[in-house]
Structure formats: structure tokens, C-alpha cells
Amino acid sequence: MPNMSKVKNPMPCQDPKVRAHNFKEVTTGYTEEMAKDEAARCLQCKNPFCMAGCPVHIHIPEFIALVAEGKFEEAYQVIHKSSALPAVCGRVCPQESQCEGKCIRGKMGDPVGIGRLERFVADYHNEHSTAKPEVPASNGHKVAVVGSGPAGLTCAGDLAQLGYEVTIFEALHTAGGVLVYGIPEFRLPKAIVRKEIEGLKAMGVKVETNMVIGKVISIDELMQEYGFEAVFVGSGAGLPKFMGIPGENLKGVFSANEILTRSNLMKAYLPDCDTPIKQSKNVAIVGGGNVAMDAARTALRLGAENVYIVYRRGMEELPARKEEVEHAEEEGIIFKTLNNPVEILGDEQGWVKGMKVIKMELGEPDASGRRRPVEVPGSEYVLDVDCVIMSLGTNPNPLIKSTTPGLDTNPHGGIIVSEESAMSSKDGVFAGGDAVTGAATVILAMGAGKTAAAGIHEYIQNKAK
């Protein structure tokens, strides 16, 4: 008999008052009992909608049935067939708009906690499994992967499984891309990312850090001089967007990428770190996505007294994962929704001393289907802040495009690819993730990495015939 409780087993968390001052993981994960109890809520639908909602099509009912039986390692093997990074996805996927959003139990109560179960299973495996991954026999074909974020890691993992000799080129000094520089330790411990990358290396994948492809070696050179038969470009999104309002280049105004990179990649939150990070008292984050939540909660942990999310639409429209918004609220982040900055004010020394904000109201729906925010005339006021963090998304990075002749991009700068194979306009060059779509989610990038791996396999096998 399934467990007919209408509510999900709650996720155990660190107390909000405690965690607001540390960088340890916020959620501590299900126990075996909780996992089995939650798994028993799954109705084992014959035609599971949840799978249709998963960008990498994990066999969700199958793994959940194994969890209910206490066969956790077997459950892991089911997930791992479809996802290279289960411990990551269980933590950062927007389940409410994917698998769980489609779950039939969600019609009358909470959906099954698929994400929490995925994380439980992956953590169980990481803790208990001693099995070394099998190193597949080489098929003699070399593939280069540019970027070691979720798209690149997934693509590399799938190709390595098929016997390809894969080399990942990473621009930074540490592999992991946004999983390392972007998502904070308290949401995705870096040890988990390292473990996933070690797993790939154990399968024979080579990782070359400090290699900015497009600068140190061009895509053409990778193929012509270094013998790579195909290249996957998963270089991520690039240049942070700013609003274009007065005062944006004052000291104390940062992009979310900068604050997160300083804190996560460079570990500036540690007291003895060589990389500086500004200590602020009152911080405004402009934007409402996951990155904005990460920046806000990082600012709080760095010691800010008041942290505001300034967002031009309403609470309902926040694009961030629901759980992140809830966690942020619990920790004391102040949401100034229906507010939009018009100017950042500076003192004589060029430091931020406030932000002029105008109130908004929602009007008619715009092209995205969301109601367009419009200014309320005369409603300007000054928010007392000494730091402003812009979290407005990114524009594509020009490095690869500008150094790769024959690589077509769309007007936004994203690389144009075939939907089926992920091949670009350039023969043998494939792409996926934010480099194609602009800023999106980890799981979508992983889905694109998977598609590209299949596309590369087909391309090389056809050529070999």
C-alpha cells in the first residue's frame, strides 16, 4: 500500500539562525527511514509524467521503488544510467517545474519528494560504495570538451562510457565550472563536485586546467593539430549584465558573479584567504533568480546585517527555485519585490551610500507571458545600503565565437546548434548549455551535454565508416 500522506517528508535543515552565519550545507538530507517513507508515497504510475518532466529522463518510478525496498545502491545504479551528476542534481534542480511539477500526487497535496530522494540515493552511494568505476576499452577516437561545468562533465562522462578518449579543457584553475565558482558551498558542497570529477578521471577522462580555449589554442587547432575528431563547446555564459543606471561603477557595486567567484572559487569567506571580499553592512541584490538568492545568502553569511532582494516583479514571479526563496526568507533576507533601482548614490570617496528605488506595479502581460512591471510615478525612495550586487543574468562570452571562423551565433550571441545532434554550423563542433541558451539551469546544461555526446558518437561513427 502506498503511503497516502498528503505532505512530503520535510527536509532536515540547519536552524536558520545558526546557518545564516556559517557556510555549511543548509539541508542535511533524509535518513534511511525518511527516504523509505517518502518513496512509499510514489504511486508507481504506468505512464509516469515525472519522467517526461526530467531533462535527462531518469527512470524515476524504478529508482523510487528500489528506495522503498531499501535497495539504495541499486537505486543509484538506475539514476546513474541517465545522470552523470545525481548528487548535484538532487540538490540544485528546479524539481517543482520538472519531475515534481508533473507528479500526480501534486494534484492533491505535495508531490513525491523526487529531488530529495535522488540526493539521498546519491549521498548513500558516495558514502558506502567502494566499487571502482569500470574503465571502458578505448575506441581510439579523441574528443575535446571545452569547459568543465555541468554540460561539459555530462558530455565527457557519456563519451568516456562509450570508449572515447576525452580531454576537458578548463579556463580556471579548478574544474567544475559554475558548480565551483557559482553555486555556494552551503547549497552544494565542493567536496561533492570534486568527487564527481574524480569519478570521471577514474574513467580515463583527462582534465587540463588553466587552458582558455580560443586564446591559448583555437578550436581549429584542437581539430587540426591536436587530433581531436570532435569538439564540444560548453563554455557557459559570460559577461555579467548591468542595468545601465547612474552609479553602477561606484566602489561597492559588484556583479553576482564577482561576489560568488570571490567567495566560492577563491574561498574569500575563509578568514586567512589571500583574496579580498568586501565586508558590508546593508546589501541590496538586484534580481530574483537562483544566482540572486545565492548572492544574498552569501552576503548574509559574510556578516551583513540587512540583506535585501530588490526585484521589479512580485513574489510569485521570482524565477528562483521555490526552496531557495523559502530558505532565504527563513534566514532573514528581506524581499523588496515590485521595486526597481533607478540610481546608485555614492559618497565623496566613490563608495556606495544608498540606492534610489522606484516602486512598481504589475500591468498587462508581456512577451514572456508575465505581467509587465510598470513604475508608480513619484514613488522613489532611498534604500540605505553600502553594497549593491547586480544579478541580472549574463551576455554570452565572446572568446570562442570571435576566434572560431564558421561558428554561427544568434543575435544574443548564443551558439546555434541542431536540436537533435547539438552540432553547430561548423563540422565536428558541437555545443550546449549556457553557451547556447544563455543563462539557464544545471540540469538543462546536463541534458544538452547528453544530447551532444550522442550527436558526437553518431558523427564519429558515421565518419569512420
Nearest residue (CB) to other proteins, 215 versus 322? 215
Q: Count Cβ neighbours within 10 Å for each residue of 340-360 and write b for 16 or more, e otherwise.
A: bbebbebeeeeebbbbbbbbb
**E strands, 292-437, in order:** 306-311, 334-337, 339-346, 352-365, 371-375, 381-383, 387-390, 394-396, 429-431
Nearest residue (CB) to other proteins, 71 versus 194? 194
Output the smallest distance, CB 281 to other proteins, in A. 16
CA–CA dist 83, 59 (Å, integer): 10
Q: Are 341 and 356 in contact (CB under 8 A)?
A: yes
CA–CA dist 254, 376 (Å, integer): 27
CA–CA dist 352, 251 (Å, integer): 6
CA–CA dist 340, 316 (Å, integer): 16
Joined together, the cell numbers standing for residue 253 give: 557595486
Output the smallest distance, CB 249 to other proteins, in A. 6
Nearest residue (CB) to other proteins, 249 versus 461? 249
Q: Is the sign of the CA dihedral 183, 101, 111, 108 positive or negative?
A: positive
Output the smallest distance, CB 210 to other proteins, in A. 4
Nearest residue (CB) to other proteins, 273 versus 416? 273
Output the smallest distance, CB 197 to other proteins, in A. 16
DSSP assignment of 78-127: HHHHH-S-HHHHHHHS-GGGTHHHH-GGGGGSPPP-HHHHHHHHHHHHHH
Nearest residue (CB) to other proteins, 44 versus 209? 209
Nearest residue (CB) to other proteins, 217 versus 320? 217
Residues at the interface with other proteins (CB under 8 A): 171-173, 181, 209-212, 215-217, 236, 238-240, 242, 244, 248-249, 251, 254-255, 257-258, 261-262, 265-267, 273-276, 278, 349-350, 397-399
Output the smallest distance, CB 424 to other proteins, in A. 20
Dihedral (C-alpha) 311, 314, 319, 324: value to the nearest 10 degrees?
Answer: 90
Q: Which amino acid is at 224?
A: Q
Output the smallest distance, CB 277 to other proteins, in A. 9
Q: Which amino acid is at 145?
A: V
SS3 content of the chain, % helix, strand, coil (to 5): 35, 20, 45
Nearest residue (CB) to other proteins, 39 versus 387? 387
Output the smallest distance, CB 412 to other proteins, in A. 15
Nearest residue (CB) to other proteins, 216 versus 376? 216
The SS3 of residue 1 is coil
Output the smallest distance, CB 208 to other proteins, in A. 9
